[in-house]
Amino acid sequence: MLEVENMLESEFYQWLLSKGYNESTSRARKSNCTTVGLYEGDLDNHFETDRCKDLLNRLGYSTDDQIHNRKAKHNIPIKGNIRTGSATLKQAVKLYVQYRSENILGMTCVNDKISVGHKKRLSNTKEWPKWEQPSENEIYELAQTATKYIRFLDPQIINSITQDNEKNHSYFSELLLRNGVDTNLYLWKGSPCCFPGIRRYAGSKEISFYRKQSDLDKTSIANALCLDDNDFPKQIWSYILRGAAFSKFGPKNYSLAHLIDHKKSKNRMATEFEFLNNQIFTAPFYGLYTCPSNTVYIPTSLLKPTDFNTSLRNLLFNKANSLYGDFCNIIPDHIKVPCANDRKWDICNFTWSDPVGSMQHIGLFLEYRNRIITDLSYKGL
């Protein structure tokens, strides 16, 4: 959690949910902290220096400041009322300080006479305690509990997406190529990608551009018709389960999780999968971001699959492949989902919840997604 986007990717968000904040508020607070980090520096560094005291002071903007139209002490651009905007950001940072305070060990008091650089050197020379790791049997027991609550979409739905992609393959490919997007990263053979050309933003520059806080040359945004903040993967679920577009809230106490890595940063495909015919991993398959075969809903009280160990992650890969592999390729066909090294990790040895959803609203969703892809291909980023 050293980079801004990684710092807020899951742990802080999950902590907010565990404190009783709803999904919309939790997403807003993590977004606030991302914004602060972009303009004021990494919140982790601020915390380790003085527990964000100086930053919180600069985020203060009083009624008197407002009356006299004083300039804010921070560098964050705020549209609208500076006082209320600053207060919102300050509250988000306070929550982050609370989160860090509850989730770090071995903290030492800050000595103002010691330089920040010296403190970092001192901290780097001190060893962390070594704690016992869960045994393989304990991880197996965790998996036995988790699989009962992980929700996959019904295979008929994924099959419909795959068939519609085959039907529109030439059309979608033309739209992507016109915008300089590598179609193979989204529309591999048998791909169930819902929104070819849409991927998650990555890195502070793309985050800032997405939030309209800075400009970015379109040519520097690789292989995308549109950048997204984790909304588009939820559209298929919302249409199928509610008959309506996603509107910033999901099923209570559940959150969406991706199974196979879809971003460039910390991508594990090269080590988690077998590449056939001397092929190698060269770029992330961005289409996995909106592949419904690659997303599940999981209780917020459980760890997300991205945090699971290798055996548990591979178990979920194999479950998805068993549900959908007869009619689509959950990953390109030159990549093989590895079998479990130990037969006890076979999917048949676990209890799974029934796949969810019906075909009632699939036509409505297909019309929506095809319109979105067409509109984006002409409007661009």
Question: For 42-62, how does the pLDDT look when each residue is reduced to its tens digit (9 = 90+)?
Answer: 888 888 888 899 999 999 999
Q: How is residue 258 written in tokens?
A: 């991706």
Q: Which of 122-126, 182-186, 193-197, 366-370 has the lowest mean pLDDT?
A: 122-126
Instruction: Give the whole-angstrom CA distance, residue 233 versus residue 259.
Output: 12
First-to-last C-alpha distance (Å) of the chain:
28
> Helix or strand or coil: residue 12?
helix
Q: Are 59 and 86 in contact (CB under 8 A)?
A: yes
Whether pLDDT at 266 is above 60:
yes
Q: pTM value?
A: 0.68
Mean pLDDT for the stretch of residues 197-213: 84
Domain ranges of the chain: 4-125, 145-379
Sequence-distant (≥ 6) Cβ neighbours of residue 357 within 8 angstroms: 153, 154, 157, 237, 240, 241
| The amino acid at 289 | Y
Strands 335-336 and 274-275: antiparallel
* Helical (H) or strand (E) element with 206: helix 204-210
Instruction: Give the whole-angstrom CA distance, residue 340 versus residue 213.
Output: 46
Q: Give how far Cα 343 sits from Cα of 31, 106, 324, 338, 347, Å.
A: 43, 41, 21, 12, 9
Q: Count the helix, strand and coil residues of the chain and give each as a percent rounded to the nearest 5.
A: 50, 5, 45
**Residues in a beta bridge with 297:** 151, 256
Q: How many CB atoms sit inside 10 A of residue 175's CB? A: 20
Whether pLDDT at 37 is above 90:
no
